[in-house]
């Protein structure tokens, strides 16, 4: 008995030592990653200083204030050099004006100097000639990590550029920075244990949104003029809304070529970004709609179609984007699932009135069965295996506080999940409290169930398209979640993103345009906000957005699949009218 107890005690001690050593290894890898980032920043600052000594007379503020189209024109005609523009933006970033305030940068890309020299040697200038561009953490760049905020991805460096980066470089763009993301990308609060929390440059007490939150913060802070993000539940549109930017989520298959999954199997983040039922979309983020259109025009080129034959060879249709024909616009200011703050509904109403006054035809539109979309179609896509793949992603990882509720609920024994699912079923229509997500991930699904699930998504898409066509709509105007939440609140309100999630399930192109700011009157009206039923989740939303006077207020613009140009044209109309107001 004594020997058995001694053996047991020794085994427990050995297990404890093994876990402790594992945590120490993880901590060491994280510290090394942060040190590498800091050293890269120092190299950037040194290169900028050398440039300033060589060319002391650069009009920095004038260059930073140029819209992308004007900057591109100056670069194309030669009145500005790519070197001057690149180092002007590098100086903005390296001076810590943006990065220190927001912690948005994951890594500086020193190879930007090589790309600069490459485009200077070329005879032909691409559409993005000399434009500095930032890219989201998981978009593969040769010689760099694609981490998704996960420690197991800190060992493997990308061996080649992703297709997207290759096409950007072919068009003359200069990738110069990679931006921070939430751990696993499955969050709209931008935080991970390796590189920390990213904050909103417009108010450091607030979140920039996610998962493309680093991009949103860098562009809104003036450190980048154009960025590439990805969107599977609102990850381009939410940061654009929170940070006052324009962002486009295209039809998922219109752009391809992330490349990050090649680096490390676990970099796939379980099943989160590889679902065929609700696919991930790549898209641009910028300060205005014309910038998004230029980026899409540059990317939808022969180089993209040759490098990735799975991308349909459909070039950008300039005629559609430039059209001034009146539009037939469907609209709604609430989806009936998660009532948004008064300022976001006001934005839709004011934009609707402005469109009507400009000669467009406005038609009420109501997307059907949003609770069904959220509870059955969206969540069950991601947790079809009972959450096992999601949990596996965090094996050996330090879990970010913002994801602990989801991870812990996935780790519950199946019997406990089933019991909770049964008890909470009467309340499942809300799907806002993290515990209620247990009902969604309670059981693994069979192959037959998954086939049925995919079929249900296709049926729902067909129903919405039929409703759209019966009303003879060109586009739809609708709300987007906002204004920016106080940090810590996105993790408490997963169900609040129904406004963006819907168009990932439908795989429709959707974009966000800032049209206003929060007013004192909005704040007063917020005090009377009751939401759906004045329950804890409605009160949590109220707390999340309170005190946001002056923060951006946006609307969402939507078109049918493959009609990105029409979506952008509608976004441009909304932008023009809002600026006119």
CB–CB of 224/134 below 8 Å? yes
Q: Round to whole Å and give the CA distance between 431 and 501.
A: 13
The pLDDT of residue 72 is above 60: yes
Summarised one tens digit per residue, pLDDT across range 399-438 is 998 888 888 877 777 777 677 666 765 555 444 443 334 4
Tokens for 187?
């969050």
Catalytic one of 134, 162, 207, 235: 235
Residue 436 burial by CB count (10 A; 0-12/13-18/19+): exposed, middle or buried?
Answer: buried
pLDDT value, residue 437: 42
With bands split at pLDDT 50, 70 and 90, how would you rate the model's confidence at 101?
confident
Q: Round to whole Å and give the CA distance between 187 and 78.
A: 43
CB–CB of 208/200 below 8 Å? yes
The terminus-to-terminus CA distance of the chain in angstroms comes to 84
pLDDT value, residue 516: 98
- Average pLDDT estimate for 194-210: 97
Q: How, if at all, do strands 226-231 and 281-286 pair? A: antiparallel
User: Is the peptide bond preceding residue 95 cis, with omega within 30 degrees of 0?
Assistant: no
pLDDT value, residue 375: 83
Q: 285 or 453, which is more confident? A: 285
Catalytic one of 92, 94, 134, 136: 136
The verdict on whether 187 is a catalytic residue reads: no
Give the Cα-Cα-Cα angle 189, 194, 199 (nearest 5 degrees). Answer: 35
With bands split at pLDDT 50, 70 and 90, how would you rate the model's confidence at 95?
low
Nearest to 71 by CA among 117, 16, 128: 128
Summarised one tens digit per residue, pLDDT across range 326-340 is 999 999 999 989 899
CB–CB of 440/431 below 8 Å? yes
Q: Round to whole Å and give the CA distance between 481 and 497.
A: 6
Neighbouring residues of 15: CB distance < 8 A, sequence distance ≥ 6: none
pLDDT value, residue 359: 98
Summarised one tens digit per residue, pLDDT across range 33-65 is 999 999 999 999 999 999 999 999 889 999 999
Per-chain mean pLDDT for the chain: 89
Sign, Cα dihedral of 469, 470, 473, 478: negative
Most confident of 26-30, 56-60, 100-104, 287-291: 287-291
Summarised one tens digit per residue, pLDDT across range 434-482 is 333 444 445 677 888 888 989 999 999 999 999 999 999 999 999 999 9
Q: What pTM value is reported for the model?
A: 0.93
With bands split at pLDDT 50, 70 and 90, how would you rate the model's confidence at 6?
low
The verdict on whether 211 is a catalytic residue reads: yes
pLDDT value, residue 406: 80
With bands split at pLDDT 50, 70 and 90, how would you rate the model's confidence at 376?
confident
Q: Which value, to the nearest 10 degrees, does the dihedral of the CA atoms of residues 432, 546, 578, 337 take?
A: 20
- Average pLDDT estimate for 358-385: 89
The pLDDT of residue 275 is above 60: no
- Average pLDDT estimate for 12-19: 70
How far from the centroid of its chain's Cα atoms is residue 447's Cα? 30
Q: Round to whole Å and give the CA distance between 217 and 191.
A: 13
Residues of the chain with CATH 3.90.1300.10: 25-312, 323-370+377-384+448-580
pLDDT value, residue 384: 76
Task: Supply the DSSP symbol for 59.
Answer: -
The pLDDT of residue 260 is above 70: no
Tokens for 63?
């260059």
Q: Round to whole Å and give the CA distance between 49 and 30.
A: 29
Q: Round to whole Å and give the CA distance between 549 and 526.
A: 11
Question: What architecture does CATH give domain 323-370+377-384+448-580?
Answer: Alpha-Beta Complex (3.90)
Neighbouring residues of 326: CB distance < 8 A, sequence distance ≥ 6: 359, 360, 361
Task: Supply the DSSP symbol for 484.
Answer: P
Most confident of 267-271, 318-322, 405-409: 318-322
Question: What architecture does CATH give domain 25-312?
Answer: Alpha-Beta Complex (3.90)
Catalytic one of 162, 211, 291, 578: 211
Nearest to 214 by CA among 246, 236, 184: 236
Tokens for 206?
């607030």
pLDDT value, residue 99: 83
With bands split at pLDDT 50, 70 and 90, how would you rate the model's confidence at 87?
very high
Tokens for 398?
């330090």
Nearest to 137 by CA among 104, 167, 169: 104
Q: 257 or 555, which is more confident? A: 555
pLDDT value, residue 506: 97
């Amino acid at each position: 008995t004594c020997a058995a107890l001694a053996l047991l005690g020794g085994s427990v001690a050995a297990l404890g030592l093994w876990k402790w050593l594992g945590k120490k290894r993880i901590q060491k890898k994280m510290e090394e990653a942060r040190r590498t980032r800091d050293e890269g920043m120092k190299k950037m600052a040194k290169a900028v200083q050398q440039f300033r000594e060589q060319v002391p007379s650069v009009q920095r503020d004038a260059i930073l204030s140029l819209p992308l189209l004007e900057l591109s024109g100056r670069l194309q005609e030669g009145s500005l050099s790519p070197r001057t523009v690149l180092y002007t933006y590098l100086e903005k970033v390296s001076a810590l004006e943006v990065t220190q305030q927001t912690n948005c940068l994951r890594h500086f890309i020193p190879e930007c100097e090589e790309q600069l020299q490459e485009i200077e040697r070329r005879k032909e200038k691409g559409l993005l000639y000399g434009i500095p561009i930032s890219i989201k953490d998981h978009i593969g760049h040769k010689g760099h990590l694609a981490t998704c905020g996960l420690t197991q991805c800190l060992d493997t460096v990308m061996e080649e550029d992703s297709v997207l980066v290759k096409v950007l470089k072919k068009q003359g763009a200069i990738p110069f920075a990679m931006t921070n993301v939430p751990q696993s990308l499955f969050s709209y609060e931008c935080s991970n244990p390796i590189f920390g929390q990213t904050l909103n440059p417009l108010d450091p007490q607030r979140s920039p949104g996610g998962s493309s939150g680093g991009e949103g913060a860098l562009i809104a802070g003036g450190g980048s003029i154009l960025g590439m993000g990805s969107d599977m539940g609102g990850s381009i549109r939410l940061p654009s809304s929170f940070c006052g930017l324009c962002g486009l989520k295209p039809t998922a298959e219109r752009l391809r070529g992330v490349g990050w999954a090649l680096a490390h199997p676990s970099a796939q983040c379980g099943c989160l970004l590889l679902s065929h039922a609700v696919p991930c979309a790549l898209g641009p983020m910028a300060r205005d709609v014309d910038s998004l259109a230029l980026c899409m025009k540059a990317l939808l080129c022969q180089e993209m179609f040759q490098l990735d034959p799975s991308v349909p060879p459909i070039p950008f249709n300039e005629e559609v984007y430039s059209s001034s024909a009146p539009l037939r616009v469907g609209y709604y200011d609430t989806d009936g699932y998660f009532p948004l703050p008064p300022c976001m509904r006001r934005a839709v109403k004011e934009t609707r009135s402005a469109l009507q006054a400009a000669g467009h035809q406005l038609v009420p539109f109501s997307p059907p069965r949003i609770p069904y979309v959220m509870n059955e179609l969206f969540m069950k896509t991601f947790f079809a295996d009972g959450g096992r793949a999601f949990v596996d992603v965090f094996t050996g990882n330090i879990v970010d506080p913002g994801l602990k509720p989801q991870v812990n609920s996935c780790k519950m024994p199946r019997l406990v999940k089933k019991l909770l699912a049964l008890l909470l079923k009467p309340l499942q229509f809300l799907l806002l409290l993290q515990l209620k997500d247990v009902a969604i991930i309670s059981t693994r699904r069979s192959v037959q169930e998954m086939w049925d699930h995919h079929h249900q998504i296709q049926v729902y898409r067909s129903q919405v398209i039929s409703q759209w066509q019966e009303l003879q709509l060109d586009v739809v105007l609708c709300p987007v979640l906002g204004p920016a939440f106080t940090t810590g609140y996105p993790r408490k309100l997963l169900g609040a993103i129904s406004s963006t999630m819907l168009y990932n399930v439908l795989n429709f192109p959707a974009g966000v345009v800032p049209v206003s700011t929060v007013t004192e009157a909005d704040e007063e009206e917020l005090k009377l906000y009751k939401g759906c039923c004045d329950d804890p989740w409605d009160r949590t939303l109220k707390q999340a957005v309170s005190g946001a006077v002056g923060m951006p207020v946006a609307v969402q613009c939507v078109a049918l699949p493959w009609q990105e140009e029409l979506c952008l044209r509608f976004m441009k109309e909304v932008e023009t009218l809002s600026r006119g107001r």
